[in-house]
Amino acid sequence: MTQAKSPAAKATKRPAAKAKPKRKAPSVDNPGKVLKRSRYSKAETYAIFQRFHADNPEPEGELDYVNAYTLLVAVVLSAQATDVGVNRATKHLFQIADTPEKMLALGEDRVREEIRTIGLYKTKAKNVILLSEQLVRDHGGEVPEDREALEKLPGVGRKTANVVLNIYFGHPTIAVDTHLFRLGNRIGIAPGKTPLDVEKAMEKAVPAEYSLHAHHWLILHGRYICKARKPECRRCVIYDLCRSPEKEPFDSLPEIAVRTKALVDREAAS
């Protein structure tokens, strides 16, 4: 007599599930598949910025400066360097040279020495001297409140001009750095193939009342929470609103998102 096999014995061995290939964070060099439009409605985008505002009503940049000129120099030095590293190098430099005239008196060799801990310091020292010369020659030593004039300065591109216009002059510009580019595409709020595409999409998406601080909120969010290698979704204030396929699934909403949503609701009710 043949013995009936138990269900366990009948079960055939399943092949091991294939690990999902890890999604690469979008970057300027490799934006990946770019969405045609934002993943969010106007109301949803508004809700995202309400959260950022409730969490940090007055966001600030992390570069140290004492006037428009030192901000401009700090931003030029910050290309491919951390803000902490730039602040360390400029602490003494700005004590001895906080105007283009003083920087020119210092000379390129001395500037190079002062900033030698920062990447690309030789090129940057040259640009600091050249842009100081141009400021003195064409703008009476003042930093112009004008994008075109700023972009004519050596070492100053669209991103740097946008940062200075936003932080110092209070224009609602969006400077797209590596963090903003990643966020625009990863969460799909302002998709674009190039930084300029993302900038234009951000300008369209960000509600007018939040446009002054949008740049800061997004930079800080990208730098500390929605990081390139592994987003820290557990610490994300927009967790429940985010539609990124890279969002980490949890059984319950992260505490920070619940708390921030409650702040927004309270503000709306008052």
Phi-psi region of 146 (alpha: psi -120 to 50; beta: other; left: phi over 0): beta
Rounded Cα distance, 188 and 229, in Å: 17
Count of residues engaged in binding ligand SF4, rule: CB under 6 A: 13
Letters for 211-250 (x = contact with ligand SF4 by CB under 6 A, - = none) are --------------xx----xxx--x-xx--x-x-xx---
Tell me: does residue 75 bind ligand SF4 (CB under 6 A). no
Active site residue 18: no
Give residue 192's Cα distance to chain centre. 15
Tell me: does residue 205 bind ligand SF4 (CB under 6 A). no
Return the DSSP state at 246: T
Residues between 86 and 125 with contacts to ligand SF4, criterion CB under 6 A:
none
Catalytic annotation, pick one of 42, 64, 152, 177: 177
Active site residue 124: no
Tell me: does residue 48 bind ligand SF4 (CB under 6 A). no
Return the DSSP state at 1: -
- Least distance to ligand SF4, CB of residue 190, Å: 13
Has 233 been labeled as part of a binding site? yes
Angle 198-263-255 (CA atoms, 0-180°, nearest 5)?
A: 85
Has 226 been labeled as part of a binding site? yes
Of 48 and 93, which has the nearer Cβ to ligand SF4? 48
Residues between 183 and 202 with contacts to ligand SF4, criterion CB under 6 A:
187
Of 25 and 106, which has the nearer Cβ to ligand SF4? 25
Of 69 and 217, which has the nearer Cβ to ligand SF4? 217
- Least distance to ligand SF4, CB of residue 242, Å: 3
Q: Tokens in use for 129?
A: 């001297």
Tell me: does residue 50 bind ligand SF4 (CB under 6 A). no
The candidate with the shortest Cα–Cα distance to 244, out of 181, 180, 182, 186, is 186
Rounded Cα distance, 69 and 150, in Å: 11
The candidate with the shortest Cα–Cα distance to 22, out of 217, 229, 235, is 229
Torsion of CA 242, 247, 253, 258, to 10 degrees: -40
Catalytic annotation, pick one of 124, 159, 197, 261: 159
Three-state DSSP class for 161?
helix
Residues between 18 and 47 with contacts to ligand SF4, criterion CB under 6 A:
none
Has 248 been labeled as part of a binding site? no
Of 73 and 238, which has the nearer Cβ to ligand SF4? 238
Return the DSSP state at 147: H
Give residue 117's Cα distance to chain centre. 23
Has 151 been labeled as part of a binding site? no
Three-state DSSP class for 58?
coil
Query: Which residues are known to be catalytic?
Result: 159, 177
Contact footprint for ligand SF4 (CB under 6 A): 187, 225-226, 231-233, 236, 238-239, 242, 244, 246-247
Q: Point out the annotated binding site.
A: 226, 233, 236, 242
